[in-house]
């Protein structure tokens, strides 16, 4: 299977980047203020997407209508959670509704985006070009103002996934904690490559923040993904040094919770995280 995926990447490279076909999934709830700007930046890409699917998670501000007027295909789902979906397994459910639409299309890549992201016109072109050259199956750029030094720092937004490989692992996220990182580890466990390209930038209209609930879910994700205790403690300590004592406490609480672990990526997870920890220490 490894050879098959690499052959596909090589074939795409020989065809030329301009022939690439990709679709985009955007989960959105009450994003009327920003969704049009995000969609405009996608439809203005040098490589125009074949389809953009907005999954409207019970918005009450007209998000879905604005997205339709901007040219997106909108799926409306009944809201199943009263709290933010960020970091929760529920977000995987929302994204998967959009992926079901794209699965029937003959695509080379799938892109996942937040509703608040702006992409320079050559964002996808540069990302695909690097992925084909490096034979990478999952990659992203970096939001301006954010730093990255880790293999597992591939963003959830602005993420591009090789569709041929994605079909082989189900063309969906597991509806469980740490689902975005699970996909990265799944690729690594199959001998494939993932990458973050810090020179390829996009803009986020919403600052990434941490709160106790997100910290608790992050702790659960670390447990589910087989993070070693030493690595988890290092992440908690880093949160403490940022003077986020309450968040650090909730992160520890989440990590110590009774959480089922992923077994299909277990053997690759621990050595990968120890390598990541050493890299993080160098940049601390």
Helices 179-189 and 89-103 pack at an angle, to 10 degrees, of: 60
pLDDT of residue 19: 86
Closest CA to 270 of 236, 233, 225, 234: 225
pLDDT of residue 281: 47
- Domains of the chain, by residue range, sit at 2-204, 212-282
pLDDT of residue 284: 46
Q: From first to last of its 284 residues, what are the pLDDT tens digits of the chain?
A: 555 555 555 455 545 677 899 999 999 999 999 999 999 999 999 999 999 999 999 999 999 999 999 999 999 998 776 666 677 899 999 999 999 999 999 999 999 999 999 999 999 999 999 999 999 999 999 999 887 766 668 999 999 999 999 999 999 999 999 999 999 999 999 999 999 999 999 999 987 788 999 999 999 999 999 988 988 998 899 898 888 899 999 999 999 999 999 999 887 866 666 566 555 445 44
C-alpha–C-alpha distance, residues 141 and 158, integer Å: 7
∠ CA 136-231-2 to the nearest 5 degrees? 20
The distance from CA 190 to its chain's CA centroid, rounded to whole angstroms, is 19
The distance from CA 13 to its chain's CA centroid, rounded to whole angstroms, is 24
CATH 3.90.550.10 fits 2-204, yes or no: yes
pLDDT of residue 283: 47
Calculate the dihedral angle through the C-alpha atoms of 198, 202, 205, 209, rounding to the nearest 10 degrees: -20
pLDDT of residue 7: 54
In 77-107, which positions are buried (b, 16+ CB within 10 angstroms) versus exposed (e)? eeeeeeeebbbbbbbbbbbbbbbeebbeeeb
pTM, rounded to two decimals: 0.90
Q: Are 185 and 272 in contact (CB under 8 A)?
A: yes
Distances in Å between the alpha carbon of 109 and those of 15, 196, 259? 14, 16, 32
């Amino acid at each position: 299977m490894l050879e098959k995926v690499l052959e596909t990447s090589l074939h795409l490279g020989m065809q030329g980047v301009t022939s690439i076909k990709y679709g985009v999934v955007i989960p959105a709830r009450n994003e009327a203020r920003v969704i049009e700007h995000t969609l405009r930046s996608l439809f203005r890409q040098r490589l125009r997407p074949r389809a953009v699917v907005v999954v409207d998670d019970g918005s009450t501000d007209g998000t879905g209508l604005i997205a339709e007027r901007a040219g997106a295909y909108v799926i409306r789902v009944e809201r199943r959670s009263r709290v933010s979906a960020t970091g929760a397994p529920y977000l995987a459910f929302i994204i998967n509704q959009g992926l079901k639409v794209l699965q029937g299309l003959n695509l080379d890549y799938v892109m996942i985006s937040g509703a608040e992201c702006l992409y320079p016109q050559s964002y996808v072109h540069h990302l695909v070009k690097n992925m084909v050259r490096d034979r990478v199956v999952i990659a992203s750029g970096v939001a301006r103002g954010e730093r990255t030094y880790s293999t597992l720092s591939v963003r959830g937004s602005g993420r591009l996934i090789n569709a041929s490989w994605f079909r082989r692992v189900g063309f969906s996220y597991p509806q469980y904690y740490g689902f975005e990182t699970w996909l990265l580890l799944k690729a690594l466990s199959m001998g494939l490559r993932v990458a973050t390209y810090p020179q390829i930038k996009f803009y986020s209209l919403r600052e990434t923040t941490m709160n106790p609930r997100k910290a608790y879910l992050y702790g659960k994700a670390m447990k589910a993904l087989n993070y070693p205790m030493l690595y988890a403690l290092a992440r908690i300590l880093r949160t403490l040094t940022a003077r986020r004592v309450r968040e650090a406490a909730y992160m520890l609480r989440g990590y110590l919770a009774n959480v089922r672990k992923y077994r299909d990526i277990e053997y690759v997870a621990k050595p990968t995280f120890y390598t990541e920890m050493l890299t993080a220490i160098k940049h601390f």
